[in-house]
Structure 1
């Protein structure tokens, strides 16, 4: 079965360089009040001395109109919406990665801000052309499968948004080179160390992995260094 997972990467650095993953985990768990900050930490998994994963539950109050049949009137009742998100922090490679969409990514940012953690966070711009170039030197096979281009120019007679599948990979390098600043997304088929997967990249730091025979964790370890370049 094909498994699709979305991620968002940000550049992240603690201002206190002496803090390791164990100490950071203690700080996060120490702010685990029962939704006092709008969140509850469900789990903190220390992956290594420089990397940890956090499972977070967000509670958002909302209000519903209910009908009170006894008094024949509408009553405003408070309810709550809950969403779960998972994010990882790597202190060595200096990134924050969210499992999911930009919405979950924003939840992680808000949580870290509310617990008073001193850090620097910047949006990661993924240079698709640089990724393609470095991937050709890193992986066994890299094929461009599809692209979306913001300002595609056809013989100076047509300019506009274009999306298409690549049927001849001999044009891949030229296409990416010519439109490196106008790529909205690109999808690659990659083979490395016997593992095959599709990788879709967006310039805003988001990416998706589709695979049916590899662990997502193994793939992440292979691609993140190239995404951060």
Structure 2
């Protein structure tokens, strides 16, 4: 899962990004609304976390601006402005949920799962491939109903491949699923993840294999 966090408190943003990463979530962060709109043009996000008090304006103004582009990405407002009428204002302007600060990461995760289950959003459903069942929303994998313990980044690679099973997935698409735009990606980092993932899948008898498509990317096939 990849989120956009629009938040001007840098320490809070950094702490939240680390906490979300433990749930397998890649977080892009910006402090300004103008930059946020540009990021939504360049990337596909599963959800957006939006503060209200931002250096270049009221965060709620971002919602209609985003919707005019045709994007229906779920938006959860995270703010200290949490009076009843402020919550009503945010929801009436198109926010999918509204969460007052301070909050528990566990509650935020529950709300994320809830908004991603709502139609017409493209909620990530469980994926069955080979002898595996992958749950991208809860970041879990089972082989013949037995949990398969994978490091977070390998699981993100696997989920990205499984969603496009039997199709070639570009390296850039896989890297976007694993790293945020601020991270420096080593040239062989993705290949290392794939190599370790292949061995774990083989050892677990997952019934799938990851094939290299030279110069393009990778492909997940049932064996």
TM-score by length of 1: 0.22
Q: Counting helix residues as a fraction of each chain, which structure ranks higher?
A: 2
**1 or 2 for the larger relative contact order (CA 8 Å, sep ≥6)?**
1
Q: Counting strand residues as a fraction of each chain, which structure ranks higher?
A: 1
From the CA coordinates, give the structure whose radius of gyration is larger: 1
